[in-house]
Structure 1
Amino acid sequence: MLMEVVLTLVVGFVGVWFVVFWSYYRHIKRVPSPRLWPIIGNAMEFTTTSEVLTVLDSLYKKLNTKTLRIHIGFRTLVQTKDYKFLEFLLSSQSIISKGIGYSFLHEWLGLGLLTSDGQKWRTHRKMITPTFHFKILEEFIDVFNSKGKIMIEKLQKEVGNKSFDVFPYVTLCALDIICETAMGTCVNAQNEESSLYAKCVKDMGRIIQQRGLNPIYHYKVIYQFTKLCQEEKAALKVLHGYTNSVISKRRAQLEAVAKSTQKTEDDIGQKKRTAFLDMLLQATINGVPLTDKEIREEVDTFMFEGHDTTAAGICYTLFNLANHPEVQQRAFEELKDIFGDDTERECSYQDLQEMKYLEMVVKETLRLYPSVPLYARMIKDDVTYNGMVLPKGMTIGIYAYGIQRDPDYFPNPEKFDPERFAPENYDGRQPYAYIPFSAGPRNCIGQKFAILEMKASVSKVLRHYKLKPATPTHHLQLAAESILKAVNGVKIAIEKQTY
């Protein structure tokens, strides 16, 4: 009797899998795919995040294609680095829903700008866009300067060491910056490395990745009983509690000012700086203010998107400069032209605009090491591309890391060459081949903020330290997690800068 029940369940399970598999396969069967196994599909090809990029690159090469079909369990994914396909996807006004993996962020970010779609995304995008106007971004420069100064002081203890991982220093600096610019509050992550908030931000990044990697954790009915879920709940209690507290206090301050009979610009805080939170508290949609929950979702989204991604970009830029002394020297000479030999003068918004060569260095770094190497779109309604139906419910993977290292678009793609982005060499006529910030209607709204922060942080380091390759030579072991992560660290060496 028991064997009959088990057999029935197995047959039923296989039957459901086959129905789901066929519902997608019949539409996209002409897309090349590696060998499939029943039920598990291609799952055995992708066992760890550190293998994803290598496996994908080898599959594209082996199958001689720029678009792959991948099946993992009940899920079907079309993974592409084809320019025309990416142009179709990223320029679309209707294919704007994020892939199913983004649902793992819902408990933390709710339906903020990153995870929402439809009308809510459109109205919030329209509302938030003005907060990244250059006049507002200019107000954040003093935060970049003050937090960068702390990082420079912390790095002093590494002078003379043959090798150290720069990522822990940069990620704490980036966390300090994002907290102050997003919420107008200081978590002092660099000076208090035991900060509970900082720890919980780091924990959530790990938890989201572990859940994405293990198919068993994809199903909430199972996940809710796991130890990992309990860790997530504990971290979210701290993160949401902190953000809610800051919102409540700031709203009370603004209301007190509104009732005051003597209002001055300084009444609502420092005149020279308005946090992202302040702008959200004063924003309305059709005349209706945002709820505290909506504000928390957007602040938490800004925290998530603007922390590790920017930190990764800064680290890989420092790594490239350390390993390409001729590029570093040219970037340093540019800084000398701007600042002279005054290492203590804080940079201004105008100074950052003048760092043309350093911006080329940052852009070339993001080409080789895009902070988010893979992202995805969900097809909400059947659409046709190139005579092929993309069925409702299917996920399309966008392989930014792949197309940005494709020789069809970037000759000698493995070479670090900032000159690619010199005005005379890069005309932007293929905007969907360079997509570290995505492209089209769902491009990264904070990309100008990120570039400014990267330039401010890197220039601060270069003005104080000369970067050297790690000894012994360090080769990055890249993993496709929520960011492009070096699992063996981003190791360099530094010595005092000479003028």
Structure 2
Amino acid sequence: MYLEIFAILLTTLFVWDYLRHRRHNRMYAAAGIRGPRSYPFVGTAPTLFKESPKTVFSLQSRLMAQYGKNVKMQMIGESGFTTADPKMIEAIMSSQQTIQKNNLYGLLVNWLGDGLLISKGKKWFRRRKIITPAFHFKILEDFVEVFDQQSAIMAQQLYDRADGKTVINMFPVACLCALDIITETAMGVKVNAQLQPQFPYVQSVTTASTMLAERFMNPLQRVDGIMKLLYPKLFAKLNDSVKTMHNFTDSVITERRDLLQKSIAENADANAALFNEVGQKRRMALLDVLLQSTIDGAPLSNEDIREEVDTFMFEGHDTTTSSIAFTCYLLARHPEVQARVFQEVCDVLGDDKSAPVNMQLLGELKYLECVIKESLRLYPSVPLIGRHITHDIVLDGKLIPAKSDVILFIYHAQRDPEYFSEPDKFLPERFSMERKGEIHPFAYTPFSAGPRNCIGQKFAMLEMKSTISKLIRHFELLPLGQEVELVMNVILRSSTGINCGLKPRVY
């Protein structure tokens, strides 16, 4: 009797699973989107999860070679496809109908709430409109001073290891510098991460970022209930880190709001809060913009503001860290490119290592910008982007069914030989003014594109140019240490570190 009941249940589950995916399978077949064998309940998961994060890049390359640039995938409870086709990426990124993020981004909700990265619909549109003024060039001009000061601290901290023989993993070095920059520009406070890496907020950001990266790759950690059951200590550690970050952010918001309201009460002028005790203009931060913003005449709550500040913290330090580290790695291994960057830096900034930079000078570092863009092509900080298709829609001439999850493989699209000659070579000249217009705009999308593009890309480029030019003024970068072994993650990383050596410059 029990065997009969079990057989009936099993048969029912098989039928349910078949019917659930039947429409998707038919529509993908009609669209010419194929993929690896799918099994009942688990879909194509066995094909994916037998690979380690280190080999996901090569797995995707093999699947594309077999099935094309659009590859059908079916996971537990999900149907969709991956794409590295710039034409399909253009159709998805350009449409207002395909801007919803997929459910993997739900892993970030505990930390970021429903901020700009995750939110959708009217809330996303309103928040985007509010935050855009924070990146006005006049505010960015003030931020450059922070970039310069913090990168100078980074350079000084590196001299102890700059003997031309010591291998330095640039990722943690750049991470602390980027964290100092983002806390000061987002919240208007100094945490001195480079000088005090044990500061609780700094440790919590590092812990949460690392653990979220692990959750992204480990299916057993993706559901809170399962993670809490199987990894109770890790789950508790993550929650403690998030609580520490939220408490710190809340305290900063409260203090800043009190200051603003006090100044308004005393001076009847909100702008007065942006001046310090001696009458000098206080540097604007993202937090100041949010505190003075309203929706339908009502100010944002502290929770609303925390969502956006935390989002800016998350998006603005690991991504920049990755690109700075990989650019240093490439410069160390291409001395001819490094020599040209150094010459440009000397020509534009002079030979005084301590001389401050400004926005105009950074704008004149044209070749360095080409170098950074080419580094982002080879090693995009965000190697993939997830979207959710909410209703049937035609994309690149293909009818895609509703409730489809799509993964855009930015990493593979940016190495497509159809769009980039010698795609695996480091050739900054691809981005020179003389070759402007040669690159398909959706074959190269390290900052995403379309309505959901990265709102802070100008900020990021200025920060990278400031930081890397500072390193180049102080040090010669040397090809020391292991080569990178890329790991698929929320942010592109290397399991072997992102290594180089340093030697003080002699002018």
**TM-score with structure 1 setting the length:** 0.95
Contact 2:191 2:199 (8 Å CA) reproduced: yes
Q: Distance in 1 between matches of 2:110 and 2:283?
A: 30
What is the identity, as a one-letter code, of the residue corresponding to 2:484? L
What is the identity, as a one-letter code, of the residue corresponding to 1:98? K
What is the identity, as a one-letter code, of the residue corresponding to 1:415? K
2:250 counterpart of 1:240: no
Name the structure 1 match of 2:380.
Answer: 370
Q: Return closer, same or farther for 1:66/1:262 CA change in 2, 3 Å cut-off.
A: closer
Contact 2:388 2:403 (8 Å CA) reproduced: yes
Q: Return closer, same or farther for 1:26/1:333 CA change in 2, 3 Å cut-off.
A: same
Q: Distance in 1 between matches of 2:259 and 2:505?
A: 45
Name the structure 2 match of 1:495.
Answer: 503
Q: Distance in 2 between matches of 1:259 and 1:198?
A: 34
Q: Distance in 1 between matches of 2:213 and 2:152?
A: 32
- More off after superposition, 97-106 vs 160-169: 160-169
What is the identity, as a one-letter code, of the residue corresponding to 1:475? E
Name the structure 1 match of 2:207.
Answer: 203
What is the identity, as a one-letter code, of the residue corresponding to 1:360? C
Contact 1:432 1:439 (8 Å CA) reproduced: yes
2:487 counterpart of 1:479: yes
Structure 2 counterpart SS, 1:307: helix
Contact 2:134 2:285 (8 Å CA) reproduced: no
Question: Which of 316, 319, 344 is matched with 1:334 structurally?
Answer: 344
What is the identity, as a one-letter code, of the residue corresponding to 1:438? S
Q: Distance in 1 between matches of 2:268 and 2:392?
A: 59
Structure 1 counterpart SS, 2:477: strand
2:131 counterpart of 1:123: no
Q: Distance in 2 between matches of 1:319 and 1:387?
A: 40
- More off after superposition, 459-468 vs 154-163: 154-163
How far 1:14 moved relative to its partner? 3.4
2:150 counterpart of 1:140: no
- More off after superposition, 322-331 vs 336-345: 336-345
Structure 2 counterpart SS, 1:346: coil
How far 1:221 moved relative to its partner? 4.1
How far 1:387 moved relative to its partner? 5.1
How far 1:140 moved relative to its partner? 0.4
Residues 153-198 of structure 1 deviation map (CA, whole Å, 9 limit, x = unaligned): 1111211234221111110110111011000111111111112212
How far 1:374 moved relative to its partner? 0.4
Contact 2:386 2:408 (8 Å CA) reproduced: yes
- More off after superposition, 7-16 vs 142-151: 7-16
Question: What percentage of residue pairs aligned between the two structures are identical?
Answer: 41
Q: Return closer, same or farther for 1:469/1:125 CA change in 2, 3 Å cut-off.
A: same
How far 1:267 moved relative to its partner? 4.2
How far 1:272 moved relative to its partner? 4.8
2:315 counterpart of 1:312: no
2:92 counterpart of 1:89: yes
Name the structure 2 match of 1:37.
Answer: 39
Name the structure 1 match of 2:184.
Answer: 180
Contact 1:21 1:74 (8 Å CA) reproduced: no
Name the structure 1 match of 2:157.
Answer: 154
Residues 265-288 of structure 1 deviation map (CA, whole Å, 9 limit, x = unaligned): 524896251111011000112222
Structure 1 counterpart SS, 2:74: strand
Gaps of 5+ in 1: none
Q: Return closer, same or farther for 1:335/1:387 CA change in 2, 3 Å cut-off.
A: closer
What is the identity, as a one-letter code, of the residue corresponding to 1:94? Q
Name the structure 1 match of 2:466.
Answer: 456
What is the identity, as a one-letter code, of the residue corresponding to 1:323? R
- More off after superposition, 191-200 vs 207-216: 207-216
Alignment RMSD (CA, Å): 1.9
How far 1:5 moved relative to its partner? 5.4
Structure 2 counterpart SS, 1:372: coil
Contact 1:108 1:300 (8 Å CA) reproduced: yes
- More off after superposition, 277-286 vs 354-363: 277-286
Contact 1:79 1:398 (8 Å CA) reproduced: yes
Q: Distance in 2 between matches of 1:82 and 1:272?
A: 46
Name the structure 2 match of 1:68.
Answer: 71
Structure 2 counterpart SS, 1:153: helix
2:365 counterpart of 1:355: yes
How far 1:212 moved relative to its partner? 2.5
Question: Which of 266, 270, 281 is matched with 2:275 structurally?
Answer: 266
What is the identity, as a one-letter code, of the residue corresponding to 1:42? T
Residues 252-274 of structure 1 deviation map (CA, whole Å, 9 limit, x = unaligned): 11111111149755248962511
Contact 2:81 2:405 (8 Å CA) reproduced: yes
Q: Return closer, same or farther for 1:266/1:391 CA change in 2, 3 Å cut-off.
A: same
Residue correspondences, number: 496
Contact 1:404 1:433 (8 Å CA) reproduced: yes
How far 1:391 moved relative to its partner? 1.8
How far 1:10 moved relative to its partner? 3.9
Q: Return closer, same or farther for 1:144/1:21 CA change in 2, 3 Å cut-off.
A: same
Name the structure 1 match of 2:25.
Answer: 25
Q: Distance in 1 between matches of 2:6 and 2:86?
A: 47
Q: Return closer, same or farther for 1:175/1:5 CA change in 2, 3 Å cut-off.
A: farther
Q: Distance in 2 between matches of 1:395 and 1:301?
A: 23
Q: Distance in 1 between matches of 2:397 and 2:365?
A: 46
What is the identity, as a one-letter code, of the residue corresponding to 2:17? W
What is the identity, as a one-letter code, of the residue corresponding to 2:417? P
What is the identity, as a one-letter code, of the residue corresponding to 1:28? Y
Q: Distance in 1 between matches of 2:414 and 2:193?
A: 34
What is the identity, as a one-letter code, of the residue corresponding to 1:448? K
**TM-score with structure 2 setting the length:** 0.94
Contact 1:139 1:272 (8 Å CA) reproduced: no
Structure 1 counterpart SS, 2:281: coil
Q: Return closer, same or farther for 1:281/1:44 CA change in 2, 3 Å cut-off.
A: same
Structure 2 counterpart SS, 1:98: coil
How far 1:61 moved relative to its partner? 1.6
Residues 295-318 of structure 1 deviation map (CA, whole Å, 9 limit, x = unaligned): 000000000100100000000111
Contact 1:466 1:496 (8 Å CA) reproduced: yes
Name the structure 1 match of 2:237.
Answer: 231
Q: Distance in 1 between matches of 2:8 and 2:131?
A: 53
Name the structure 1 match of 2:114.
Answer: 111
Contact 2:484 2:496 (8 Å CA) reproduced: yes
2:180 counterpart of 1:170: no
Residues 345-374 of structure 1 deviation map (CA, whole Å, 9 limit, x = unaligned): 011111101100100000000000000000
Q: Distance in 2 between matches of 1:261 and 1:307?
A: 36
Q: Distance in 1 between matches of 2:318 and 2:256?
A: 26
